[in-house]
């Protein structure tokens, strides 16, 4: 019986070491999603990813480009340690085009991980502003200008100095 107790106690003492060896020594980053799913030219795009690490997360960044990595930008993600959700916002791409991005996470021990979709990056496409969208925008501006002009004209007419005739 004492051999069994010694065995069980030895096993219990080794469990933390086994758990440390079995756990990944670096952060894990899920496949991200974007909101809105089909962004338009005026839409900010929010990148959502679940990021976890045994040592806790120090920071998460999203690196993105709109010109096939000739230039790139980095956005610091907000991180919720309870839900493990990292959120980063990429500004609108008013002229349309393709956006490529990847995610990098650091844990509190200085270990890092990158999720770059196996080297092909994550992408989304923003359609270019169409001529019909531009036309409708100019029509809307013209209608507003006419309405403002009419209101100003009516205001001047009603407040003008009236002469009385006798």
Report the top-level CATH class of 21-128. mainly beta
Q: Which of 60, 20, 66 minimizes the C-alpha distance to 39? A: 66
Domain residue spans in the chain? Answer: 21-128, 130-161
The phi and psi torsions of 140 (rounded to 5 degrees) equal -65, -45
pLDDT averaged over every residue in the chain: 86
pLDDT in tens, 45-103: 999 999 999 999 999 999 999 999 999 999 999 999 999 999 999 999 999 999 999 99
C-alpha torsion sign, points 10, 26, 86, 126 = negative
- Cβ atoms of residues 89 and 43 within 8 Å: no
| 156 band by pLDDT with thresholds 50, 70 and 90 | confident
């Amino acid at each position: 019986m004492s051999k069994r107790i010694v065995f069980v106690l030895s096993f219990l003492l080794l469990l933390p070491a086994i758990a440390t060896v079995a756990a990944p020594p670096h952060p894990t980053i899920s496949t991200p999603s974007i909101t809105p799913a089909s962004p338009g030219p005026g839409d900010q795009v929010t990148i959502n990813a679940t990021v976890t690490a045994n040592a806790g997360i120090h920071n998460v960044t999203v690196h993105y480009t709109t010109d096939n990595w000739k230039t790139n930008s980095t956005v610091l993600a907000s991180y919720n340690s309870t839900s493990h959700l990292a959120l980063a916002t990429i500004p609108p791409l008013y002229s349309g085009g393709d956006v490529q991005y990847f995610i990098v996470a650091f844990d509190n021990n200085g270990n890092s991980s990158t999720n770059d979709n196996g080297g092909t990056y994550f992408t989304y496409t923003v359609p270019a502003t169409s001529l019909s969208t531009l036309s409708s925008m100019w029509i809307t501006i013209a209608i507003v200008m006419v309405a403002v002009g009419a209101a100003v004209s009516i205001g001047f007419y009603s407040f003008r100095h009236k002469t009385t005739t006798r």
